[in-house]
Amino acid sequence: MAISPKIVISDLKAPVNGILVVITNDDLDFGPAAKAALKPSGDLFQRVAKIEKFKGKRNKVLDLAAPAGLKLEHVLVVGVGKAKDMKAEDWLKVGGTVMGRLPAAGRNVTVLAELPGGKLSADDAAQVALGMKLRAYKFDRYKTKKKPEDEEKPHTVEIKLGVGDVAAAKKTWSRANGVGDGIILARELVNEPPNVLFPVEFARRASELKKLGVQVEVLDEPAMKKLGMNALLAVGQGSERDSRLVVMRWNGAKKKSETPIAIVGKGVCFDTGGISIKPAASMEDMKGDMAGAACVTGLMHALAARKAEANVIGVIGIVENMPDGNSYRPGDILKSYSGQTIEVINTDAEGRLVLCDALAYTNERFKPKLMIDLATLTGAILVALGQEYAGMFSNDDKLAERLTEAGKVTGEHVWRMPLGPVYDKMIDSKFADMKNTGGRFAGSITAAQFLHRYVGKTPWAHLDIAGTGMAAHNTEIGDSWGPGWGVRLLNEFIAAHYEK
Ligand code: BES
Ligand code: MN
Ligand code: ZN
């Protein structure tokens, strides 16, 4: 990580030096502290704004030479357009945009977090800081030749957010910072190469959450064999690397006996397709086929770090799908944990085999209020929704509605797709209870129908994140290949409904 900014919340009276960031709107107004700071420069800002055609539009930045008489390097003026229309996600993006414009390292940065018309709320200020933290993340561990700007030491940027209610903002930021660490953990896991992050190593990293007070249990192959998780085990059978199932528990609810909610993740550390091997083009991307499990792990980190007042179970099935003399084959019939039998048609439809055992086990053992699974499950969801929305499938309208709302708040959007008997029958098998693929059409839906057969009556939502969970394009909040998608979504979902 090139920059790991230390973000400090302080009041507006704190001395300003280094780089100053001020917020303006599309009337080019400033708050009182920014006005005072810019005063020595006279009408410099107005003149430069005119030359540069800077209109204060959202996420546009104007770089100003520092006014004389102040210990400043320069001033970044960032536009927010119509300030009253700014939502949480927009403040996050402002933070990211600002960080993207800062020189690499070692500078003192002061962000005057105030609005032209008044104070910025503690929540919005925390979003600005979170956006900065996320944008600063870089995955460059394996580069031995760093760019000169990355070599500058020390790699810290101290950001002082000047806000009205400093105590409130400090508290809010300490929680948002924990969520940020969870997102960065999820990114890190997705970015790691598959020779480094194999199932046992993934389980070890998840076990580190114990330090934050998360209870972590790791099931090895003999334990899973004993439980009858033959679908999950079949996928890992062709790999030299052992499979694992990890159960993480955060018991933060005021009432300790509160029924938990459960989040389940697909963790295929590398997906070659197995005997139904994938073509070579872009196969390296399949190191990200554990993005669902990464999200669950990052979420558990976030919940523990911010001491969420909810009981949440995180379960991840972690395997590697390889071709080998001992691999599972098309034609094999597997007896899953639930007792239902599966005819394997295609060994590349492995994610649902991992999840069906993880879901059925979670449901039976914990009897959760609801279950949500995340999985890079089908290429077909990329065809349908691209990289902008995750596909959502649910047997419960209220749950679907709440996830949609959390998506709107965080900008991690989900789009509901259909389920129903007409799709369900597409996975009936001639030889077993079901087959693991449903043919060429409706690929994401038949995959979801498969999972649906393992959740009983428990309210459940499946998020197909093959498009959103990996190979992310650059945004205001980062250029990481693994975006850490879903941590903010589920954190918001839990905060909004399960911590009251
Ligand atoms: N991990 C893949 C899905 C995937 C594709 C994720 C592209 C991210 C980007 C999954 O295991 C898979 O191979 N699915 C098959 C299912 C098919 C064999 C029914 C697919 O989508 O082609
Ligand atoms: Mn596959
Ligand atoms: Zn896969």
Which amino acid is it at 128? V
Measured from the CB, is residue 321 less than 6 Å from ligand 1?
no
241 is known as an active-site residue: no
Catalytic residue among 119, 160, 287, 352: 352
The rounded distance, in Å, linking the Cα atoms of 423 and 420 is 6
16 pLDDT above the threshold of 70: yes
2 pLDDT above the threshold of 50: no
pLDDT band at 131 (very low <50, low <70, confident <90, very high): very high
146 is known as an active-site residue: no
pLDDT band at 58 (very low <50, low <70, confident <90, very high): very high
Which atom of ligand 1 is found nearest the CA of 278?
Answer: 13
The rounded distance, in Å, linking the Cα atoms of 141 and 159 is 24
Write down the pLDDT at residue 113.
87
Measured from the CB, is residue 302 less than 6 Å from ligand 1?
no
Which tokens go with 217? 């249990």
Q: What is the mean pLDDT of residues 287-309?
A: 98
Mutate to test the pocket of ligand 1, among 346, 348, 465 (most ligand atoms within 8 A of CB): 348
pLDDT band at 3 (very low <50, low <70, confident <90, very high): low
pLDDT per residue as tens digits for the range 80-129: 999 999 999 999 999 999 999 987 656 788 899 888 877 889 999 999 99
146 pLDDT above the threshold of 90: no
157 pLDDT above the threshold of 80: no
| 16-20, 22-26, 270-274: the lowest-pLDDT one | 16-20
Domains 4-164 and 192-497 share a fold: no
Nearest Cα to 123, choosing from 69, 86, 76? 86
pLDDT band at 173 (very low <50, low <70, confident <90, very high): very high
pLDDT per residue as tens digits for the range 188-246: 999 999 999 999 999 999 999 999 999 999 999 999 999 999 999 999 999 999 999 99
| 20-29, 37-46, 392-401, 410-419: the lowest-pLDDT one | 37-46
Write down the pLDDT at residue 40.
86
Minimum CA distance residue for ligand 1 atom 7: 379
CATH code for the domain defined by 4-164: 3.40.220.10
- CA of 379 from ligand 1 middle (Å) equals 5
pLDDT per residue as tens digits for the range 38-53: 888 889 999 999 999 9
Strands 118-119 and 114-115, how do they pair? antiparallel
Which amino acid is it at 469? G
CB atoms inside a 10 Å sphere around CB 81: 17
**Cα–Cα distance list, 211 to 304, 392, 427 (Å):** 10, 33, 43
Measured from the CB, is residue 443 less than 6 Å from ligand 1?
yes
1 pLDDT above the threshold of 60: no
Nearest Cα to 77, choosing from 93, 54, 100, 96? 54
Q: Which ligand is nearest to the CA of 281?
A: 1
Nearest Cα to 98, choosing from 80, 82, 86? 80
- CA of 232 from ligand 2 middle (Å) equals 13
Q: Would you say the pTM of this structure is higher than 0.85? A: yes
If you search the block for the tokens 């204060």, which residue do you land on?
56
Which tokens go with 158? 């101290």
pLDDT band at 159 (very low <50, low <70, confident <90, very high): confident
Domain coordinates of the chain in residue numbers? Answer: 4-164, 192-497
Q: Which residues contact 290 (CB under 8 A, 6 or more apart)?
A: 189, 190, 197, 202, 265, 266, 267, 268, 269, 318, 376
| 64-68, 180-184, 287-291, 333-337: the lowest-pLDDT one | 64-68
133 pLDDT above the threshold of 60: yes
**Cα–Cα distance list, 109 to 9, 17, 65 (Å):** 12, 7, 15
Please name the fold of domain 192-497.
Aminopeptidase (3.40.630)
- CA of 378 from ligand 1 middle (Å) equals 4
- The angle formed by the CA atoms of residues 492, 493 and 499, to the nearest 5 degrees, is 90
